[in-house]
Amino acid sequence: MARILYIVTATLPDDPAAHEYTAWLEDGHTDEVIRGGAHSAMIVRLLPEPGADHTPRVMTQYVFATRELFDRYLERHAPGLRAEGLRRLPPERGISFQRTVGEIL
């Protein structure tokens, strides 16, 4: 059975928002996703391409052992965790999220 890689990439309006977001991730959010079924998490501050503007971006990667565990996480845990994130960092602040799911080969 293939493991699932779940990636959430946040694009943030400025460095203070990026620091606030990463602090929230480090202070318990990633632990909550692990409690919800992931077996690991990694937070990565993406570096800008040479010559590109410095729009802060943070990628968080989660690995789930099976698709079933990932689907259970989406059903039972993700809605509440996403709502908490939107309360802390609402879209009106210029923050956007991209979610990507893949099978680890």
CA angle, residues 40, 81, 12, in degrees to nearest 5: 85
> Rounded to 5 degrees, what are φ and ψ at 80?
-70, -40
Residue 26: band (very low, low, confident or very high) from pLDDT cuts 50, 70, 90 = very high
**How confident is the model at residue 31, as a pLDDT?**
98
The predicted model scores a pTM of: 0.94
**How confident is the model at residue 49, as a pLDDT?**
85
Look up residue 93 and give its DSSP letter: G
**How confident is the model at residue 98, as a pLDDT?**
96
List the domains of the chain with CATH numbers. Answer: 3-47+64-104 (3.30.70)
Question: In the predicted model, what is the mean pLDDT of residues 12-28?
Answer: 96
Residue 100: band (very low, low, confident or very high) from pLDDT cuts 50, 70, 90 = very high
